[in-house]
Amino acid sequence: MKPLLLIDVDGPLNPYAAKPQRRPEGYSTHRMRPTGWTEAESAKPLRVWLNHGHGARLLALADAYELVWATTWKDEANDWIGPHLGLPKLPFIDWPVMHGRAPRGTFWKTQYVLEYAGARPFAWIDDDITAMDREYVDRHHPAHALLMYVDERVGLTGEDFETLARWAP
């Protein structure tokens, strides 16, 4: 069984914290209104920057990984993000509680990532991963895991994709 590649949207695929007046090189701007958009009352939809080359790079990793959305977009990533990147419909983690309490200073997603992964190895790309999450996973996950922090001002880089390719069995 392949390891999981758990993919967050905001940060890794959408470098939302980049300077607002400058779209990152290689990215295009999309306006979206997913269900969870907290400023839905606003006339302005959510600005999302996507690099269409990321889709091909993720698909290339699908030989070694099972791709899974690990994002607050949940299944809506299949409607709003995947089509722009040329990705097929992917499974997703259906968070039982979002932004809730987390064990021992970890990110709220970490406990649910471990539940979803079960005993499978996984790589997880997210902009909220910290040393506390790595320590927690090392102590509580029975298989190999790669927790990759991605800078939300930059998004996934070529080096990140190379790391993921090297890490896969």
pLDDT value at position 44?
75
Which tens digits make up the pLDDT trace of 92-121? 999 987 777 788 789 999 999 999 999 999
Alpha-carbon gap, residue 25 to 29, rounded angstroms = 11
Query: In this structure, are residues 164 and 148 in contact, taking their beta carbons and an 8 Å threshold?
Result: yes
What percent of the chain has a predicted confidence (pLDDT) above 90? Answer: 75
Q: Where are the domains of the chain?
A: 4-167
Alpha-carbon gap, residue 18 to 50, rounded angstroms = 12
Interior angle at CA 100, CA 88 and CA 152, nearest 5: 55
Evaluate the CA torsion angle 18, 34, 81, 127 in order and state its sign: positive
If one looks up domain 4-167 in CATH, what number appears?
Answer: 3.40.50
pLDDT at 38 over 80: no
pLDDT at 123 over 70: yes
Q: If you average pLDDT over residues 118-129, what whole number do you get? A: 97
15-24, 40-49, 72-81: which has the highest mean pLDDT? 72-81
